[in-house]
């Protein structure tokens, strides 16, 4: 019997660099609504959020930066090696995170909801879950990922790994254990099998390659489908060709990318002629890859692609859409204006989570375009 009538809630946890976020994203591809509770934690003490003043009162005004926000790195350094300080911070943020997660859960239209949290088992969020999934990886794999992806040296990587509770304790209470040693094909197979266990009769993500057929004649009809791992070779070929070699992608690169983003594939009578790579993270949509064949009408193509991304984003309760077109598409200002987007800089976005997302994705070759998708922000009513 589920704690939430009509919904099945998966609690996803695991230690650092075991691949929790990749697994969460894969479950999202299968049709689950997913919540990153750790990202919500940062939102609880953003300026204007309910935990902001509580954190300042408890730890001091020295944490506030020139923009009036609490400096997360200062706060993290303060509590990382201070068990009492960590408990005090968690006493502030955990109840707020649970309230926010429950609000998102109630709003979700999807029957399966995934809540990712590194301290899921230690907090109240465990009580709302129907099944506990744990990602697991050998320590050497964790170390390699922290060195490669975060730039840690070996000593710091081991320090971060050993600072967390034992992975074996999480595995011991898990209903499902996902072993993530680095093979994306193997990871998909494990998740597909587990998905079929909890959603009888559910479709799974096909990882077998397919050939993109060339049409005999074009009637000019656009269609959009969500990319799947089986499309990875076609996606890699399109990005490599349309980027004129600036992005040399392989099928394996795209398979790895599926652990971070989704792809909307634009077709003209069955032929792949464009795509948008996007993600919703921390209730913010980021479209970081847009590629179109040169002969395609950019107005109709962009309108078709972006509206599909926005529709999918609304299903994931996104608050804002950030698009980062490269120079050739960024100059289509009239098209973007008609779609409701405006040029912005990260500093003008106002909401800290939106600013952080913009700064993370904006490059010297791209432009930031912004559109607010929803007025009711998740932490405002709490």
Parts of the chain with a pLDDT under 70:
1-2, 200-219, 379-382
pTM given for the model: 0.89
Residue ranges of the domains in the chain? 8-198, 222-372
C-alpha span between 206 and 176 (Å, rounded): 21
CATH architecture for the domain at 8-198:
3-Layer(aba) Sandwich (3.40)
Longest dimension (CA), the chain: 69
Q: How far apart are CA 223 and CA 39, in angstroms?
A: 34
Q: What pLDDT, on a 0 to 100 scale, did the predictor assign at position 214?
A: 38
Q: Measuring CA to CA, how many Å separate 267 from each of 222, 225, 241? A: 6, 8, 16
pLDDT of residue 269: 87
Residue 360: the pLDDT is: 95
Name the CATH architecture for the domain at 222-372.
3-Layer(aba) Sandwich (3.40)
pLDDT at 201: 67
Contact 217, 176 (CB under 8 A): no
Residue 121's pLDDT is 94
């Amino acid at each position: 019997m589920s704690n939430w009538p009509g919904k099945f809630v998966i609690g996803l946890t695991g230690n650092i660099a075991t691949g929790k976020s990749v697994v969460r994203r894969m479950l999202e591809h299968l049709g689950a609504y997913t919540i990153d509770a750790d990202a919500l934690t940062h939102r609880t003490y953003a300026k204007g959020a309910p935990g902001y003043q509580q954190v300042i009162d408890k730890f001091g005004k020295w944490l506030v930066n020139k923009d009036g926000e609490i400096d997360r790195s200062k706060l993290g350094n303060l509590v990382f090696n201070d068990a009492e300080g960590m408990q005090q911070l968690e006493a502030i943020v955990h109840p707020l995170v649970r309230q926010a997660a429950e609000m998102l859960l109630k709003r979700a239209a999807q029957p399966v909801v995934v809540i990712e949290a590194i301290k899921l088992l230690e907090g109240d969020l465990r009580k709302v879950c129907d099944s506990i999934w744990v990602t697991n990886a050998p320590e050497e794999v964790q170390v390699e990922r922290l060195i490669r992806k975060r730039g840690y040296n070996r000593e710091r990587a081991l320090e971060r790994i050993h600072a967390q509770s034992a992975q074996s304790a999480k595995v011991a209470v898990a209903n499902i254990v996902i072993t993530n040693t680095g093979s994306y094909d193997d990871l998909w197979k494990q998740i597909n099998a587990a998905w079929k266990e909890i959603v009888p009769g559910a479709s799974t993500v096909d990882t077998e390659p397919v050939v993109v057929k060339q049409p005999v004649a074009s009637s000019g009809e656009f269609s959009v489908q969500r990319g799947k791992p089986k499309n990875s070779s076609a996606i890699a070929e399109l990005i490599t060709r349309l980027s004129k070699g600036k992005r040399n992608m392989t099928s394996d690169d795209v398979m790895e990318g599926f652990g971070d983003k989704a792809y909307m594939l634009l077709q003209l009578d069955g032929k792949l002629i464009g795509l948008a790579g996007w993600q919703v993270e921390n209730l913010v949509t980021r479209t970081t890859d847009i590629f179109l064949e040169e002969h395609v009408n950019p107005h109709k193509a962009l309108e078709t692609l972006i509206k599909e991304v926005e529709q999918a984003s609304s299903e994931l309760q996104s608050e804002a859409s950030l698009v980062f077109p490269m120079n050739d598409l960024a100059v289509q200002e009239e098209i973007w204006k008609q779609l409701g987007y405006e040029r912005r800089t990260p500093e003008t976005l106002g909401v800290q989570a939106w600013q952080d997302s913009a700064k993370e994705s904006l490059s010297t070759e791209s432009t930031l375009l912004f559109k607010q998708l929803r007025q009711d922000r998740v932490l405002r009513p709490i």
